[in-house]
A and B are shown apart, each in its own frame.
Chain A
């Protein structure tokens, strides 16, 4: 055993080990199974995700640093790991029929989904620049390949190249910021860094590092003006990948953002709060106004997801424990409604029809009432209409902003929600009012029905009875920081 690593460290990373083993099992099973039975791989993948979820159970109240402060195993990481694993499971269920239609081989696909999930889990737990960076890249490289997975499709190829170029570019910026953080503090551990930055508030070199890291992270969460890649990648990538990208990658990047800024740079909080304040307003406004003009539903959902990154940033700007709690709640709620909306788009995909244009939704209510109702619910939830989960999430975000005296931010957020209703309702109008059925016939499958049922149930239950989620998120936000107290928070 090398010095500095103990057996207990391996116990604490049990969920990550289980997921890694699951990913390898998928790869091996891909080789061993005959070609016509490879669709069974989705069940192997689901089993791996389920086993990982089960292996999280012993750590519900753990609060330790593993391997000399490389990873933190705490409730904050746990909360995000649950979000990632649930999103991964839903993505796998969505992919079964999609892969069959596209004729893509499922083995590498599911392996890469699990690898991306593994990277996200490391990002959420990482409290050291090295682990955060490795987790980020494990996730990003998997997503580069997944975005271009449908090789004969030129749109998928273009999406992959654009995502790769801007992802690698943003990585360079983020790493340069990290190198300055390391140089100024002499450590790579975020919690030690916070202490040594304590005396450096207002230092211009620290401000430069903060700006670079904000830009790097801004690319990953697709905040304006670093959002250019998102609409193209979301439109071109295979729909289940888009769904996972817009939920998992975004949540993981926010986990990374909170770890870096709240845990590592509390002394520069004036700087990054101001930057995120500007980014939040720009992101919400540009995202919503650009979404209004879109006729492709995947592209519209991409701009909507950009706008939602802006809403979530409100919680970060507020920076109170209430703000961080609202951020966690919103990311969980957003996962379900966003995945659900993409599941409906997957339903419209048929062998000869892409099914992601707005006109494909026309008359959906008469052709498939359940799918139309589900989409209606997700649109209302994304728009923030009660009694859906989206309303509760937005309510907490805006109230956290008001609580922290960011009145303008809350006001602009509310106005933006009003703008967003325009394009969400437009889909509903196409589904319920338009009678012509030009679009493709939606094809249901049992797995897609399960996805929709889960997403609908979560959107409704979390909207009507949100207290449990709020309490769990609040308990998770409290575990940030070395002492377990929210010393890092205002």
Chain B
């Protein structure tokens, strides 16, 4: 069996990659994908802990996280489309109506 720490290191790396993506990337869709990577790193942590602890709570939370992530993606993409109609650009640097 793969030791718990392997999973934790992997999920920490995934989380770091996702976080870096949010800060570095300059395209809304890529930023959204980076956030999804962060959430999946969280899911991996929950499942790994749940398996190591022998409790189902970790897996149950993951189902909720996935559902919420789907809802967020739906709402987020709708909002992005609304903005795209005004701007024709997905680069956050081009949003100037409000001081960032």
Interface of A with B (CB < 8 Å)? 129-130, 133-134, 137, 141, 144-145, 148, 151, 154-155, 157-162, 164-165, 168-169, 171-173, 175-176, 178-180, 182-183, 186-188, 228, 231-232, 235-236
Contact = CB atoms under 8 A, between A and B. Distances in A.
- Name B's interface SS: helix
A161 B55 contact: no
Interface in B22-55: 22, 28, 31-32, 35, 38-39, 41-42, 45-46, 48-49, 52-53, 55
B61 A129 contact: yes
B35 A172 contact: yes
B6 to A, nearest CB: 14
A183 B49 contact: yes
A351 B53 CA distance: 60
Contact of A175 (B19, B58, B65, B86): B65
A180 B75 contact: no
Nearest to B95: A158
A186 B53 contact: yes
Contact of B58 (A160, A165, A168, A182): A182
B83 interface: yes
B2 interface: no
B1 interface: no
B44 to A, nearest CB: 9
B80 interface: yes
Given A158-B95, A158-B98, A175-B39, A164 B57 contact: no
B76 A154 contact: no
Contact of A169 (B38, B58, B97): B38
B25 to A, nearest CB: 11
A249 to B, nearest CB: 16
Contacts of B19: 172
Contacts of A161: 28, 79-80, 83, 95
Contacts of A165: 22, 28, 31-32, 35, 76, 92
B35 A168 contact: yes
Nearest to B48: A183
A131 to B, nearest CB: 10
26 contacts: A130-B64, A133-B64, A134-B64, A134-B68, A137-B72, A151-B82, A154-B83, A154-B87, A160-B82, A162-B100, A164-B72, A165-B22, A169-B22, A175-B39, A175-B65, A176-B38, A176-B45, A178-B42, A179-B42, A179-B45, A179-B58, A182-B57, A182-B58, A183-B52, A186-B53, A228-B100
Given A141-B72, A159-B98, A162-B98, 11 more contacts: A141-B71, A155-B97, A157-B83, A162-B95, A164-B72, A165-B92, A168-B32, A172-B39, A178-B42, A179-B45, A182-B61
Contacts of A176: 15, 38, 41-42, 45
B10 interface: no
